[in-house]
Chain A
Amino acid sequence: MNIQDIVVVGGGIGGTMTANNLVAKLLPEIRAGKARVSLISNSPWHYYKPAFMYVAFGMFYKNELRRRLHTLLRPEVKLLLDEVEGFDFKDSRLRLASGKDHRYDYLVVSTGCIPSPERIPGLKEAGDHFYQHDPAMQLYHKLRTIEKGRIFIGVTFPQTPNVPHQCGIAPMETTLMLDDFLRKRGVRDQIEIVYTYPTVSQLLRNCLFLQRPVGEVLPTVFESKGIKHQRGFTLSRVDAEAKVAYSEEGESTEFAILMQTPPIRAVDAVLNSGISQAPNNEGWLPTDRESLQLEGFANVFVMGDTVDLPISKAGGSCHNQSPVICDNIAGLMRVGNTVAAYDGKVQAIAQMGLDAGMPLWYDYDSDVIPTPATKIGGLMRKAFNRGVYWSVARGVV
């Protein structure tokens, strides 16, 4: 009997929930021995990566934001702890670090992205970020001891047109959390917070956020908290010794802490696949905006951070892409064509300070409509962080 091999690459939120969702969708075929689902991950741990920003404020410990990957998977998912070193999309094969080849009938690429501060001279040495655990912990030690000076916040967008940086709302969230954190420490009056945004942010120019409605309310929010804001600062290099940040627009500024959303890129195996047309060796895979198929390869689907779509590189995107991919793989297997279309929907609860939250959603056609941040919103976000997230990973929610 010809068994259909469906392989998911990546043990992050997209890959984990999709492996589980595929089993739920294809259970009749799996029970009949006609299909099997495998997940290839290079780590036995699943990390709740968006929660790394809380580490920077001393709100989460490492063990609280990770689980053993196998405990999140349905028993029908075969977990392979290995690293994909090469994608051969033409022959439907994966080359693994263990030396094995892995054939597939359908493939889901959910390999995430990698923060790459080394792509801006001096940033790795002098900058800080919260997109990985160890840098977030390093930032925490600085934030809990700083007594005076300027905390300079910046954002780097990919050079691929209309592709956002990782988790679009995170710079704004962490700016507001920082303000609360320093007030609680009693040092806010001695510390200047400066939030900056680059000249080009996806399709917008000279804004404070990548979507206009939110960008328009931000000055009022920031001014009410004494946070300075500046448009048109695209970080070009950092003098690590003098602690000075330089912009492409010709400005320079001193800082005590440089909290910079760094450049990002796809993982090495995706970069080396030769399929990406993204500039600056960023590696985003050309993805059909509706079917989520890799362009030119009907049996390959791309999701999460690896796509070249104008959609937030965040778990809230994966949550809506995963059912579309599962439906389309089932459609190809059962009726010979894809059946579902992704509408670009992303939902989240933005953390607006240490305690307040703002539920939000948007899609290809609609921007986020900002609403007042509330304590109930904050409680919803905390409940998600502490429990609901793991249900999402298991495909329960």
Chain B
Amino acid sequence: MTTEIAKNTSFDALLRNNPQLNDPATVQGIDDLIGKLAPLLQGQRLHNLVDLLSAVSDVVDMADDAMIQKLMKGYENVVTGAFNISNLVNYAAAQAGAEDEPPTVWQSLRRLNRDADARRGVAMTLAMLSQLGRQAREGAAVLPDD
């Protein structure tokens, strides 16, 4: 194709000489496409798509290793969080649902007392609540004007 284009000295010559462009199926396809594109061109709606392509191309040009690393770190954090939380909820729901009679509050407390991992889970939840509380306090604080 590159050689074909190189042989043609003008757009007219390219249209005349390029065998694929002179294939009746290609001409019919282009004719159909022009029918679809004409209203978009006339209403200047195609301009937006060209602008969008240009913006996407700019993003590709600007993207570098550092940007990809930051974006994918965020991706991994989100996916890992969703993976862990959905697994934990489903696993815990299946365990809790499998018991014919749910444990009493006292049985639950006794189990909590014996299970170090459950106590660690409570500690983690408390630590999260503590951070939520700190953020709420700092967010609500009235700051002095500059």
By the criterion CB–CB under 8 Å, are A396 and B91 in contact?
no
Shortest distance between the CB of A99 and any CB in chain B (Å) = 27
* Chain A residue with the shortest CB-CB distance to B98: A31
Distance A141 CA – B106 CA, assembled complex (angstroms): 62
By the criterion CB–CB under 8 Å, are B79 and A390 in contact?
yes
* Chain A residue with the shortest CB-CB distance to B61: A375
Distance A71 CA – B60 CA, assembled complex (angstroms): 33
Choose from A31, A59, A376, A390 the contact partner of B76 (Cβ within 8 Å): A390
Q: When A and B form their complex, which 4 residue pairs have the shortest distance between CB atoms, in order from nearest?
A: A387-B72, A386-B72, A387-B75, A382-B68
Shortest distance between the CB of A27 and any CB in chain B (Å) = 9
By the criterion CB–CB under 8 Å, are B65 and A382 in contact?
yes
Q: Which residues of B contact A75 (CB under 8 A)?
A: 87-88, 91
Shortest distance between the CB of A70 and any CB in chain B (Å) = 11
Residue A333 CB within 8 A of the other chain: no
Interface residues as binary, B65-96 with A (CB distance below 8 Å gives 1, 0 otherwise) = 10011011101100110011001100100100
Choose from A76, A375, A388, A390 the contact partner of B60 (Cβ within 8 Å): A375
Q: How many positions in chain A have a CB within 8 Å of any CB in the partner chain?
A: 18
Q: Which residues of A contact B65 (CB under 8 A)?
A: 59, 382
Q: Which residues of A contact B63 (CB under 8 A)?
A: 379
* Chain B residue with the shortest CB-CB distance to A380: B68
By the criterion CB–CB under 8 Å, are A391 and B69 in contact?
no
By the criterion CB–CB under 8 Å, are B80 and A71 in contact?
yes
- List 10 A–B pairs whose Cβ atoms lie within 8 Å, in order of A's numbering: A75-B87, A75-B91, A375-B60, A379-B60, A379-B63, A383-B72, A387-B71, A387-B75, A387-B76, A388-B75
In addition to A376-B60, A386-B76, A390-B76, 14 A-B residue pairs with Cβ atoms within 8 Å of each other are: A31-B94, A31-B98, A59-B65, A71-B80, A76-B91, A375-B60, A379-B63, A382-B68, A387-B71, A387-B72, A387-B75, A387-B76, A394-B79, A396-B79
By the criterion CB–CB under 8 Å, are B87 and A74 in contact?
yes
* Chain B residue with the shortest CB-CB distance to A33: B98
A396 with B83: in contact, given A75-B88, A375-B60, A387-B73 (CB under 8 Å)? yes
Choose from B73, B79, B87, B98 the contact partner of A386 (Cβ within 8 Å): B73
* Chain A residue with the shortest CB-CB distance to B75: A387
Q: Which residues of A contact B76 (CB under 8 A)?
A: 386-387, 390-391
B interface residue count range (under 10 / 10 to 19 / 20 to 34 / 35 or more):
20 to 34
By the criterion CB–CB under 8 Å, are B71 and A383 in contact?
yes
* Chain B residue with the shortest CB-CB distance to A74: B87
Q: Which residues of A contact B79 (CB under 8 A)?
A: 387, 390-391, 394, 396
Interface residues as binary, A270-309 with B (CB distance below 8 Å gives 1, 0 otherwise) = 0000000000000000000000000000000000000000
Q: Which of A76, A386, A388 has the most C-beta atoms of chain B within 10 angstroms of its own C-beta? A: A386
Q: Which residues of A contact B68 (CB under 8 A)?
A: 379, 382-383, 386
Q: Which residues of B contact A379 (CB under 8 A)?
A: 60, 63, 68
Contact residues, B92-140 vs A (CB, 8 A): 94, 98
By the criterion CB–CB under 8 Å, are A386 and B69 in contact?
yes
Distance A383 CA – B79 CA, assembled complex (angstroms): 14
A390 with B80: in contact, given A376-B60, A379-B63 (CB under 8 Å)? yes
Shortest distance between the CB of A394 and any CB in chain B (Å) = 5
Q: Which residues of A contact B73 (CB under 8 A)?
A: 386-387
Q: Which residues of A contact B83 (CB under 8 A)?
A: 394, 396
Shortest distance between the CB of A21 and any CB in chain B (Å) = 14
Q: Which residues of A contact B71 (CB under 8 A)?
A: 383, 387
Q: Which residues of A contact B61 (CB under 8 A)?
A: 375
Q: Which residues of B contact A59 (CB under 8 A)?
A: 65
Distance A59 CA – B68 CA, assembled complex (angstroms): 13
Distance A376 CA – B56 CA, assembled complex (angstroms): 11
* Chain B residue with the shortest CB-CB distance to A382: B68
Shortest distance between the CB of B78 and any CB in chain A (Å) = 10
Contact residues, A71-95 vs B (CB, 8 A): 71, 74-76
Distance A387 CA – B84 CA, assembled complex (angstroms): 16
Q: Which of A71, A387, A396 has the most C-beta atoms of chain B within 10 angstroms of its own C-beta? A: A387
Q: Which residues of B contact A31 (CB under 8 A)?
A: 94, 98
Shortest distance between the CB of A77 and any CB in chain B (Å) = 10
Shortest distance between the CB of B91 and any CB in chain A (Å) = 5
Distance A307 CA – B98 CA, assembled complex (angstroms): 40
Distance A71 CA – B83 CA, assembled complex (angstroms): 10
Q: Which residues of B contact A386 (CB under 8 A)?
A: 68-69, 72-73, 76
Contact residues, A22-75 vs B (CB, 8 A): 31, 59, 71, 74-75
Distance A258 CA – B20 CA, assembled complex (angstroms): 48
* Chain A residue with the shortest CB-CB distance to B83: A394
